[in-house]
């Protein structure tokens, strides 16, 4: 933990030496920080999600003279936040769609609709699927997560795409799951398989169960949700369970890992899941597989044996490859959860670090945040918020600055949380995509 033992001045000195002593050394520049020449102000960002698009936009806000290439294959990005609301019938896919026009036209980010396939950290080049090669002085890698397809026998990427969606990357997967819910006969079970830690948005499987239960209550009243969990507990558990008792009595069944939730195998042909406690048949099955850092990070040596990318907590520079900063879900950022808010604040922080580095300034100590709203039913939401400091030893939670909806919250307070979720979404979308 930092703060009390490390003064602001000492901290800033640490940031500077951490940055200067790493990659700029490799570039043959003196290890002391100095302003980069205009030719040495090229940043390439891989991934236009919450982390990458934020970093690209904030770099341009901080210093328009920095050249920023943003590589993202999707012309339209659908947010995972609020994609569960789509499953509940409360939002449309259009409501959660964002494009890159504002980033390009108003902020001057060069948006390149392509996929990065390899990184050469020595010559500082990124190769794209379409054949282009982009040179960089600093690279930001923000590819989100990839799925461990081999973790559940019987499950595969092919099955996810055709029959048993994960819907954990919003877009066609969300639409597939939504269509299956609409098409299912009343009276069946919707099974959600929830992954072990660490994974993207720890509350999302349980918000999803809530939103599907809402949809079933309205349209398929004889149907239920079963959550098969690889864990024995989950975030905001008491708040979720209280909400489920109030809004969906008997409709959501949660089975912990030790209580029969651990999945042994899956048979897509018969829509059957086997656990050590027996078989369960689903009318609709949603498997959220275990995860690791996005493929480009893993394939290019930015992740370690944990599957996640270790970074210098002060600069987000990879501890495995100099000159490359990794942000968002892909990093080993514990105790920070993998959330859109966390990725957004990390994008802001890394933009500041790089702009300061180019301009020979010291970076102020930065505070990171994670804020996660979960809608249990229309007009009924709960939230958890935490703030984090970047310290030389790692990310540290500000213990006195954690808040969670109270179990005693009134209906008015729960309704206010649902409204706050809507304004959170508007504000963060604007900060990420302009
Ligand atoms: C159902 C669900 C609900 C959620 N709800 C919330 C919520 O309410 N609040 C919250 O804070 N968080 C929420 N999250 C979490 C949030 O979506 C993620 O934490 C956030 O998207 C992480 O941002 P990121 O930039 O790391 O990755 P992403 O947002 O996934 O962006 C990664 C981008 O990189 C691109 N990419 C990948 N590889 C390459 C490559 N090789 N070349 C170029 N581009 C590439 C991808 O196309 C993608 O656009 C939710 C998640 C889920 C699944």
Phi/psi at 3 (5° precision): 20, -70
Whole-prediction pTM: 0.93
Q: How far is the CA of 276 from the centre of ligand 1 (A)?
A: 33
Q: How far is the CA of 104 from the centre of ligand 1 (A)?
A: 20
- 213-237: average pLDDT: 98
Q: Which DSSP string do the residues of 102-150 spell out, in sequence order?
A: HHHHTT--EEE-S-EEEEETTTTEEEETTS-EEE-SEEEE---EEE-TT
Whole-angstrom Cα distance, residue 193 to residue 152? 10
pLDDT exceeds 80 at position 365 = no
Q: How far is the CA of 344 from the centre of ligand 1 (A)?
A: 10
**Per-residue model confidence (pLDDT) at position 27:** 28
Q: Which atom of ligand 1 is nearest to the CA of 347?
A: 25
Judge if the beta carbon of residue 116 lies within 6 A of ligand 1: yes
Q: Which residue has the tokens 């999600």?
A: 49
- Give percent of the chain above pLDDT 70: 91
Judge if the beta carbon of residue 347 lies within 6 A of ligand 1: no
Ligand 1 pocket test target in 87, 142, 375 with most atoms within 8 Å of CB: 142
Tell which phi-psi region holds residue 147, choosing left (phi > 0), alpha (psi between -120 and 50) or beta: beta
The SS3 call for residue 207 is helix
Q: Which atom of ligand 1 is nearest to the CA of 81?
A: 5
Judge if the beta carbon of residue 55 lies within 6 A of ligand 1: no
pLDDT exceeds 90 at position 75 = yes
Whole-angstrom Cα distance, residue 24 to residue 36? 10
**Per-residue model confidence (pLDDT) at position 62:** 97
Phi/psi at 429 (5° precision): -60, -40
Q: pLDDT per residue over 366-385, tens digit each?
A: 889 999 999 999 999 999 99
Judge if the beta carbon of residue 46 lies within 6 A of ligand 1: yes
* Band of pLDDT at residue 38, cut at 50, 70 and 90: low
Nearest CA to ligand 1 atom 35: 47
Q: pLDDT per residue over 388-401, tens digit each?
A: 988 778 899 998 88
Report all structural domains of the chain as residue ranges with CATH numbers, in order of start: 8-146+293-364 (3.50.50.60), 150-289 (3.50.50.60)
Tell which phi-psi region holds residue 135, choosing left (phi > 0), alpha (psi between -120 and 50) or beta: beta
Judge if the beta carbon of residue 202 lies within 6 A of ligand 1: no
Q: pLDDT per residue over 25-34, tens digit each?
A: 222 222 334 5
| E strand or H helix that includes residue 421 | helix 411-433
Whole-angstrom Cα distance, residue 25 to residue 368? 28
Beta bridge partners of 263: 275
Residue 358 contacts residue 36 (beta carbons within 8 Å): yes
**Per-residue model confidence (pLDDT) at position 39:** 63
Judge if the beta carbon of residue 84 lies within 6 A of ligand 1: yes
- 38-45: average pLDDT: 86
Nearest CA to ligand 1 atom 27: 144
**C-alpha distance across the termini of the chain, in Å:** 34
Residue 106 contacts residue 433 (beta carbons within 8 Å): no
Whole-angstrom Cα distance, residue 409 to residue 37? 55
Whole-angstrom Cα distance, residue 14 to residue 21? 10
**Per-residue model confidence (pLDDT) at position 223:** 98
């Amino acid at each position: 933990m930092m703060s009390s033992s490390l003064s602001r001045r000492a901290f800033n000195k640490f940031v500077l030496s951490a940055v200067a002593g790493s990659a700029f050394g490799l570039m043959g520049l003196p290890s002391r920080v100095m302003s980069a020449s205009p030719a040495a102000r090229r940043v390439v960002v891989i991934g236009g999600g919450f982390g990458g698009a934020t970093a690209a936009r904030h770099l341009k806000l901080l210093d328009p003279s920095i050249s920023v290439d943003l590589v993202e294959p999707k012309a339209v990005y659908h947010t995972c936040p609020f994609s569960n609301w789509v499953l509940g019938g409360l939002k449309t896919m259009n409501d959660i769609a964002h494009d890159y026009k504002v980033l390009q036209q108003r902020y001057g980010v060069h948006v390149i609709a392509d996929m990065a396939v390899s990184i050469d950290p020595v010559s500082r080049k990124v190769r794209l699927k379409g054949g282009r090669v982009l040179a960089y002085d600093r690279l930001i890698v923000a590819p989100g997560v990839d799925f461990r397809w081999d973790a559940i026998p019987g499950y595969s990427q092919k099955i996810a795409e055709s029959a048993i969606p994960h819907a954990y990357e919003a877009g066609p997967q969300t639409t597939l799951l939504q269509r299956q819910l609409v098409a299912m006969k009343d009276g069946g079970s919707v099974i959600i398989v929830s992954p072990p830690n660490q994974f993207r948005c720890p509350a999302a499987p349980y918000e999803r169960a809530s939103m599907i239960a809402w949809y079933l209550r309205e349209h398929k009243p004889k149907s239920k949700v079963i959550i098969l969990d690889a864990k024995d507990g989950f975030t905001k558990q008491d708040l979720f369970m209280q909400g489920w008792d109030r809004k969906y009595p008997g409709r959501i069944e949660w089975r912990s890992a030790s209580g029969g939730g651990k999945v042994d195998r899956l048979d897509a042909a018969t829509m059957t899941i086997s656990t050590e406690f027996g078989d369960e048949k689903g009318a609709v099955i949603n498997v959220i597989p275990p995860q690791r850092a996005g493929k480009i990070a893993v394939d290019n040596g930015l992740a370690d044996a944990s599957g996640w990318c270790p970074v210098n907590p002060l600069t987000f520079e990879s501890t495995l490859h100099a000159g490359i900063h990794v942000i968002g879900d892909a990093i080993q950022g514990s105790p920070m959860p993998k959330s859109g808010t966390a990725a957004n604040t990390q994008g802001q922080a890394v933009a500041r670090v790089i702009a300061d580095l180019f301009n020979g300034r010291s970076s102020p100590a930065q505070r990171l945040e994670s804020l996660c709203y979960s809608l249990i039913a229309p007009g009924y939401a709960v939230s958890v918020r935490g703030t984090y400091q970047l310290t030389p030893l790692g990310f540290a939670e500000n213990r006195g600055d954690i808040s969670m909806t109270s179990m005693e919250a009134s209906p008015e307070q729960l309704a206010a949380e649902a409204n706050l979720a809507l304004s959170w979404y508007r504000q963060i979308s604007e900060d990420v995509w302009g």
